[in-house]
Amino acid sequence: MSGSLYIVATPIGNLSDISERAIEVLKQSDLIAAEDTRHSKILLEQFNIKTKLKSYHEHNERKFTSQLIQQIIDGKSIALISDAGTPLINDPGYKLVTAAHHNQIKVIPIPGPSAVITALSVSGLPTSKFIFEGYLPVKEQARKKCLQQLISEPRTLVFYEAPHRILESIEDMQDVFGSNRRVTVARELTKQYEQIVIDSLSVIKNKLINEEIKIKGEFVIVVEGAKNISVSDIEVLRINQILSEKLSPKDAAGLTSRITSKKKNEVYQMVLKARKK
């Protein structure tokens, strides 16, 4: 009889947030596949978990996925964990879970902490509908292109960001979304120096520059969605966004005007209005 694959959530900071069920599953599994074994070893030692660890990350998952699947088929149970939070959320594991389902292996979720959901819950922004974008591109041009595609998105936006890029990303968001768009910056969630700041993009940028928000640790950015944009307006803005990737703002607005039958100046005003929301 084949074993099972457990997807086990671990703390995002405070070790006390791990569940009793997660500890039990990790103890009883035959093997734990971990993103960084050195990091995960600290967690396992804290709870006296002696299960063997195997490194499983984005650089070796293609090589080791079939090996792990075969071990489960042979009867072993394997637990997958990430460095922090729920596995697969911007972390490796997709190929393993897909392969498990393909081989009729039972995949069992062991739910728990998630930085995305934790940040949303304290953001003060709408949570009924949201989009998780993970990390923004490293290079400015690609980052702005990604943000421009979201300028008319009415749902709340959630991003991860590293400390050395947080200021650049906030500056680009201000350029694309406008200075007044509300944003929540959550830093070091559940850890000793946790910091949650809610304000406009312009104020958040200044607080980062002045180090009122410390540029240390991992960040979650929750951004207010676009407001008061009709369906027809959204389509016009999306057309303009696509054209802006290849054309100058002036030419993009002109061609958008011809495609949508809206006046060129009206297209300009719609783009400006969307950035101010």
Q: What are phi and psi of 156, to 5 degrees?
A: -60, 140
Mean pLDDT of 9-30: 97
Residue 231 reports pLDDT greater than 60 = no
pLDDT tens for 175-184 read 989 899 999 9
Contact 55, 49 (CB under 8 A): no
Q: What are phi and psi of 135, to 5 degrees?
A: -85, 140
Mean pLDDT of 196-201: 98
* Per-residue pLDDT, 47: 97
Domain positions in the chain: 4-113, 116-223, 231-276
Amino acid in the structure at residue 51: T
Percent of the chain with pLDDT over 70: 97
Residue 246 reports pLDDT greater than 70 = yes
pTM: predicted TM-score of the whole model, two decimal places: 0.82
Q: What are phi and psi of 198, to 5 degrees?
A: -120, 125
Q: Which helix (H) or strand (E) holds 271?
A: helix 264-276
* Average pLDDT for the chain: 93
CATH of 116-223, one of 3.40.1280.10, 3.30.950.10, 3.40.50.300, 3.40.640.10: 3.30.950.10
CA 50, 51, 54, 58 torsion: positive or negative? negative
Alpha helices in 130-248 (DSSP H): 140-148, 166-177, 201-209, 231-244
Question: pLDDT grade, residue 151 (50/70/90)?
Answer: confident
Burial of 41 (0-12, 13-18, 19+ CB in 10 A): middle
pLDDT tens for 34-80 read 999 999 999 999 999 999 999 999 889 888 999 999 999 999 999 99
CA distance 160 to 247: 30
Architecture of domain 4-113: 3-Layer(aba) Sandwich (3.40)
Question: How would DSSP label each residue in 35-86?
Answer: S-HHHHHHHHHHTT--PPEEE--TTTHHHHHHHHHHHHHTT--EEEE-SSBS
First to last CA, the chain: 57
CA distance 261 to 264: 9
CA distance 260 to 239: 9
In DSSP terms, which residues pair with 121 in a beta bridge?
A: none
